[in-house]
Amino acid sequence: MASESSPSSQGGHHFLLRRLHSLAGILPVGVFLVVHLTVNSTINFGGEAFQTQVDRIHDLEPFLLPVEIVGIFLPLLFHAVLGFQIWFSGRPNVGAYKYGGNLRYTFQRVTGGVAFVFILYHLWHMHWLGESLGGARFDPHDAAATAALAMKESLFGVPLNLLYAVGVLACVYHLANGLWTSLITWGITVGPSSQRTSGYVCAVFGVVLGIVGLSSVRGFKTYEGAEVTVQHTDAEQHGDTEQHGDAGQHGDAGHVSASQTSSQDLQRED
């Protein structure tokens, strides 16, 4: 019998791990995505509105990092590791069976992979954890200007806002479709009719969150506080931001630049 051992088995915890994977994708990771994109979209109401939201999050200091690790990074890593295992445990066959559900199944795996790569890049690019690796463009004390500046960069000649748009949409699709399948997995939507209805609800949720996410990317890209050309070096960029941006409202003289790596931790304390 083929039941005894297989590459996909995980001892006696197979079911539990899969359900925790489903749960982690919604709570906390999915909830975080909704909050994160919503907060970011406040850039469309101006730099100060966005700064207010960022300050509210950073008020959690000194507990912010523990909250991030326990509430986001670990569940996300768990979800990703198991997600890749689930991906590789299947043999996608959209070529032979071109049904909507099958396309969604395959797309769920692809967007999960895209989201994973994007999130790693995004962490390096924006989070202070990426500082020692030359990333960490975002400064919570000068949120709008630094984020806007970061969104004007490009990677391998591709404008970064386009890559962010793809990454954000991958995350949003993965969450919306994951929400739909989780309702089936947990046995909440059982019949075809309820699954169709929940499908529409999840689709609307996805479209709305997608618009919110794209509006954030666009908001940073077009933010007027940072009318700088991208060709400059990092140090020059940050110098320019101080002139044009709203850095003045904080009066931080020793404003962060990628070269001043050691000063950022000090800044985060104040």
Partner 1 sequence: MSKKFKVAIKRQDDPNGASRWERFEIENEKGMNITTALQRIAASPVTIDGKQSTPVAYDACCLEEVCGACSMLVNGSVRQACTALANTLLENKPDEITLEPMSKFPVVRDLVVDRSKMFNSLSRVHAWVPVDGYSDRGAGPRISQHQQEDSYPLTTCMTCGCCVESCPQFHPESDFIGPAAISQAVLFNEHPIGSFEADKRLEILTGNGGIADCGNAQNCVKVCPKNIPLTRSIAKAGRSATVFAIKQFFEK
Nearer to partner 1, 11 or 251 (CB): 11
Q: How far is the CB of 34 from partner 1 (least distance, A)?
A: 22
Left if phi > 0, otherwise alpha if psi is -120 to 50, otherwise beta: which for 155?
Answer: beta
What's the distance, Cα to Cα, between the start and end of the chain in Å? 64
Min. distance of Cβ 116 from partner 1 in angstroms? 18
Q: Give the interface with partner 1 as residue ranges (CB under 8 A).
A: 1-3, 6-10, 12, 14-16, 18-19, 86, 89-93, 95-97, 99, 101-102, 104-106, 181, 184-192, 195
Beta-carbon neighbour count of residue 125 at 10 Å? 22
223 CA to centre of own chain = 20
Considering the complex, what minimum distance in angstroms separates the CB of residue 31 from partner 1? 20
- Taking the complex as a whole, the smallest distance from the CB of residue 3 to partner 1 amounts, in Å, to 6
Q: Shortest approach of partner 1 to residue 208 CB, angstroms?
A: 23
Nearer to partner 1, 104 or 127 (CB): 104
Q: Are 14 and 54 in contact, with CB atoms under 8 Å apart?
A: no
Closest to partner 1 by CB, 36 or 109: 109
Q: Which is nearer to partner 1, 113 or 159 (CB)?
A: 113
Find the helix or strand (DSSP H, E) in which 114 lies: helix 100-126
Judged by CB, which is closer to partner 1: 95, or 157?
95
CB atoms under 10 Å from CB of 213, counted, come to 24
Helix or strand or coil: residue 203?
Answer: helix
The DSSP element (H or E) to which 148 belongs, if any, is helix 143-150
Cβ of residue 81: shortest distance to partner 1, in angstroms? 16
Which of 60, 69, 163, 158 has its CA nearest to residue 119? 163
For partner 1, the closer CB: 2 or 253: 2
